[in-house]
Amino acid sequence: MSATKSGGKGGTKSKSGGGAKGSGSRMLVERVKTARGRKPSSTRWLQRQLNDPYVHEARKLGYRSRAAFKLIELDDRFHFLKSGQRVVDLGAAPGGWTQVAVARVGAKGCVVGMDILEYDPIPGAISMLGDFLADDSPDRLKEALGGPADVVVSDMAAPTTGHPPTDHLRIIGLVEVALHFALEVLVPGGTFVAKVFQGGTERGLLDQLKRNFATVRHAKPPASRKESAETYVIASGFKGREQESS
């Protein structure tokens, strides 16, 4: 199962989230002309992109994609990105979340991103190409990080099958692998953020999160499309590696 990621990320600690919403209220709806050979689903996707205020705001501010605002909004609410931190971004392509992390941890911080898809390097970060599920990927990330991480974020998503139960199991499987890595690299007090599906996490995964972190919350940032089943788990206050086996 390839660990791929939908969307991207980027940003500065600004009023970007509000700007995206504000610009949406003034936008005129653009209609996409029917093109020969284009599927109706492709036409709907293109029309949605043309009329999405987050897409317009991302282009204006130089973010790799609209998904940048998801991390901005999550961090504005939960405040887990701070100056000087070490951050790992799993499923980093096209690089928007890495951009956000770089901007928020500053020059004294360290941000390492990895994705199975090729993407242009992010200034100020270590951008790595690789399948996170490969045996050597955790060690490659640890070496690039050069020390323990303060935050591990994952926007990874498995390719969808159209069968909700299967897709749910796939995304939970990715979260479990990302969590296992986070438990190995996080400092005490660290934070783990990952994409899951609405309905929250599986009981076993949720129990593991609660056992290892002081606080576990779920949130759907405004930038996440209403029709999307995605939501995010924010686990903060890592208790330390001895909790993993307890």
Asked whether residue 156 falls in the same domain as residue 47, the answer is no
**Which parts of 91-218 fold into alpha helices (H)?**
96-105, 137-145, 164-185, 203-212
Asked whether residue 47 falls in the same domain as residue 141, the answer is no
**Vertex 4: Cα angle to 202 and 220 (nearest 5):** 50
- pLDDT for 132 equals 96
**Of 20 and 96, the one with more pLDDT:** 96
Residue 8 lies in a domain: no
Asked whether residue 35 falls in the same domain as residue 97, the answer is no
The pLDDT of 177-205, averaged and rounded, is: 90
Asked whether residue 100 falls in the same domain as residue 191, the answer is yes
The pLDDT of 197-210, averaged and rounded, is: 82
The pLDDT of 39-62, averaged and rounded, is: 60
The pLDDT of 159-173, averaged and rounded, is: 82
Range of the domain at 105: 66-243
- pLDDT for 26 equals 44
Asked whether residue 146 falls in the same domain as residue 226, the answer is yes
- pLDDT for 28 equals 46
What is the share, in percent, of the chain residues with pLDDT greater than 70?
A: 73
User: Any catalytic annotation for residue 39?
Assistant: no
**Of 168 and 141, the one with more pLDDT:** 141
> Does residue 71 contact residue 9 with C-beta atoms inside 8 Å?
yes
Asked whether residue 197 falls in the same domain as residue 88, the answer is yes
**Of 201 and 89, the one with more pLDDT:** 89
CA neighbor of 191 nearest in space, from 93, 132, 104: 104
Asked whether residue 154 falls in the same domain as residue 38, the answer is no
Asked whether residue 43 falls in the same domain as residue 124, the answer is no
In this structure, what DSSP letter does residue 94 have? T
Instruction: Return the SS3 of 89.
Output: strand
The active-site residue, picked from 5, 9, 70, 195, is 195
> Does residue 83 contact residue 103 with C-beta atoms inside 8 Å?
no
Asked whether residue 98 falls in the same domain as residue 26, the answer is no
- pLDDT for 164 equals 76
Cite the annotated binding site for S-adenosyl-L-methionine by residue number.
Answer: 95, 97, 115, 131, 155
Structure tokens at 236: 């903060």
pLDDT tens figures, 94-116:
999 999 999 999 999 999 999 99
Asked whether residue 101 falls in the same domain as residue 31, the answer is no
- pLDDT for 207 equals 94
Asked whether residue 35 falls in the same domain as residue 74, the answer is no
**Of 137 and 241, the one with more pLDDT:** 137
Query: What is the rounded CA–CA span in Å between residue 195 and residue 157?
Result: 8
Number of domains in the chain: 2
Instruction: Return the SS3 of 73.
Output: helix
